[in-house]
A and B are shown apart, each in its own frame.
Chain A
């Protein structure tokens, strides 16, 4: 039923001669000729969440291209999502400048490290970064973990390392962050989302 009804709304080049327009006496020739000198420009719109703060405004990202293979894609505009209950289409000046943030030359795209005593940032792989972070965390935790206080009270805490998590996190990533960080005994723990 649905298929036949859709067929019924069809507006295509082949159907013009039997259309209401032609039947009423209007020539379809010019309309057909015009169709031939146009082509389709494809664009995409995608929803996302602003990465800046804890308000979590909804944004719409506009791109050229339809993400098809071999098609040139380019982000051209970002604005507030009018359907988002938090910001209803509005953005603050930081959010309104997001396109420059995305396209910034200074944007960090891979892990970098500045060794103690060095004044140079050095690019490293994600594997190296994770291994290095894990090793440093373990060394610090082994050295400074407090299982019991001086008067014998069990506290199991690790006060010498803090953790700052990302904004625009989902409930699920918030839950996982909490589980990982608290299980290690870490007490200093905050989200970028509150900055």
Chain B
């Protein structure tokens, strides 16, 4: 019997060690083309048997229209190279979240998306919502732009009934613009609490699985749906690592919401949701946030302030 020789290398070179290393997780994930289709499907399934089922279903159908609106719109142009460079060197978001360059006319992407959303929504909306749609259709471009900018800036004074429709159209426009970018265009601040692409607030955060970093957390923009890396067990609004704890729903029927926890911070008393794909691979940060508003209410009772913004639910 001849012995098989197994080549054994006792020492690895520095290059070999580096090559075996797991790559650093992506710092930025721009929105995928099927964003709204995935979101609508998830919310439809969450709506089944849910106490807020009718509203969630309505939102899911609104999101399905967002998907069609995004597909129908012309892709956004690449950003101006000089502007991109200036934003990158000053660490500023490339897309404007305040709505300075918002085109609220019927010809702009926002106007086109809103028209499609209102047209389709009136076929499945309840009577009070149909009245709101009719009023919205009657708004001039200036009044519409004013409402949209208040929503974007997160300033009070806008109509909570308009918000889901205008918010939906804003999401379509900003997602379209974010999809024209490449990761290298954007300066991603380490541990940023606002979206590095558009400067908007996160809706929640997501723990991802599989390639690109298993168990890595990203904050998810409530406007353009870009995801930026944030360290786990660290408060997204204030970056404290002290006094972090997690709250989840407990009780009969809570199991279907097991993917959703709220990360609470005792330093700044804020609360941001954490949606874990490890616990439910079908979870979606926007849909699962909307389906667990009862969790927000309990956490609010416990004395923490919600730090995430969901454009489909305002209660000022």
Partner of A45, one of B232, B248, B295: B232
Partner of A43, one of B156, B163, B246: B246
| Chain A residue at minimal CB-CB distance from B203 | A9
Which of A6, A10, A21, A47 counts the most B-chain CB atoms under 10 A from its CB? A21
Inside 8 A of B296's CB, which chain A residues have their CB?
Answer: 11-12
Interface string of A74-87 (1 = CB under 8 A from B): 00000111110100
Partner of B128, one of A13, A25, A46, A60: A25
Inside 8 A of B298's CB, which chain A residues have their CB?
Answer: 35, 38-40
Tell me whether B252 and A11 are in contact (CB under 8 A).
Answer: no
Number of interface residues of B (CB under 8 A): 64
Which of A6, A24, A79 counts the most B-chain CB atoms under 10 A from its CB? A24
Inside 8 A of A13's CB, which chain B residues have their CB?
Answer: 297, 300-301
Is B35 among interface residues, defined by CB-CB distance under 8 A? Answer: no
Inside 8 A of B241's CB, which chain A residues have their CB?
Answer: 47
Is A23 among interface residues, defined by CB-CB distance under 8 A? Answer: yes
Stretch of B75-83, B98-106, B173-181, B306-314 with 4 or more beta carbons under 8 angstroms from chain A? B306-314
Interface string of B289-304 (1 = CB under 8 A from A): 0000111111111100
Is A117 among interface residues, defined by CB-CB distance under 8 A? Answer: no
Tell me whether B54 and A26 are in contact (CB under 8 A).
Answer: yes
| Chain B residue at minimal CB-CB distance from A40 | B247
Inside 8 A of A81's CB, which chain B residues have their CB?
Answer: 232
Tell me whether B160 and A42 are in contact (CB under 8 A).
Answer: no
Is B63 among interface residues, defined by CB-CB distance under 8 A? Answer: no
Inside 8 A of B161's CB, which chain A residues have their CB?
Answer: 20, 23-24
Tell me whether A20 and B314 are in contact (CB under 8 A).
Answer: yes
Is B92 among interface residues, defined by CB-CB distance under 8 A? Answer: no
Tell me whether B154 and A8 are in contact (CB under 8 A).
Answer: yes
Inside 8 A of A66's CB, which chain B residues have their CB?
Answer: 245-246
Tell me whether A38 and B164 are in contact (CB under 8 A).
Answer: no
* CA of A33 to CA of B254, assembled, Å: 14
Inside 8 A of B126's CB, which chain A residues have their CB?
Answer: 24-26
Stretch of B6-14, B139-147, B211-219 with 4 or more beta carbons under 8 angstroms from chain A? B211-219
**Chain A interface (Cβ < 8 Å from any Cβ of B):** 4-13, 15-16, 18-21, 23-27, 30-31, 33-35, 37-47, 60, 66-67, 79-83, 85, 88-90
Inside 8 A of A41's CB, which chain B residues have their CB?
Answer: 247-250, 254
Tell me whether A44 and B294 are in contact (CB under 8 A).
Answer: no
Tell me whether A11 and B246 are in contact (CB under 8 A).
Answer: no
* Between-chain CB contacts (< 8 Å), 17 pairs: A9-B201, A13-B300, A18-B160, A19-B314, A20-B163, A20-B314, A24-B128, A26-B52, A26-B126, A31-B294, A33-B51, A34-B52, A35-B298, A42-B247, A44-B246, A82-B213, A88-B22
* CA of A34 to CA of B257, assembled, Å: 13
Tell me whether B313 and A20 are in contact (CB under 8 A).
Answer: yes
A10-B315, A11-B296, A11-B300 given as contacts; is B215 within 8 A of A21 (CB)? no
* CA of A88 to CA of B231, assembled, Å: 12
For the complex of A and B, list the 5 residue pairs with the smallest distance between their C-beta atoms, beginning with the closest: A25-B128, A15-B315, A34-B51, A19-B315, A41-B250
Inside 8 A of B232's CB, which chain A residues have their CB?
Answer: 45, 60, 81-83
List 20 other contacts, CB 8 Å, given A21-B313, A24-B129: A7-B305, A11-B297, A15-B316, A16-B315, A20-B312, A24-B164, A31-B51, A31-B293, A35-B298, A38-B249, A38-B253, A38-B294, A39-B249, A40-B295, A41-B250, A42-B247, A43-B261, A81-B232, A82-B216, A83-B216
| Chain B residue at minimal CB-CB distance from A68 | B245
* CA of A151 to CA of B217, assembled, Å: 65
Inside 8 A of A80's CB, which chain B residues have their CB?
Answer: 215
Tell me whether B305 and A9 are in contact (CB under 8 A).
Answer: yes
Inside 8 A of A90's CB, which chain B residues have their CB?
Answer: 22
* CA of A90 to CA of B25, assembled, Å: 13
Tell me whether B306 and A11 are in contact (CB under 8 A).
Answer: yes
Tell me whether B297 and A9 are in contact (CB under 8 A).
Answer: no
Inside 8 A of B299's CB, which chain A residues have their CB?
Answer: 40
Tell me whether B160 and A6 are in contact (CB under 8 A).
Answer: no
Tell me whether B128 and A23 are in contact (CB under 8 A).
Answer: yes
* CA of A17 to CA of B241, assembled, Å: 36
Give the Cβ gap from B252 to chain A, nearest Cβ, in Å: 7
Inside 8 A of B54's CB, which chain A residues have their CB?
Answer: 26-27
Inside 8 A of B308's CB, which chain A residues have their CB?
Answer: 9
* CA of A2 to CA of B249, assembled, Å: 28
Tell me whether B316 and A18 are in contact (CB under 8 A).
Answer: yes
* CA of A12 to CA of B155, assembled, Å: 18
Give the Cβ gap from B1 to chain A, nearest Cβ, in Å: 32
Give the Cβ gap from A19 to chain B, nearest Cβ, in Å: 4
* CA of A10 to CA of B299, assembled, Å: 10
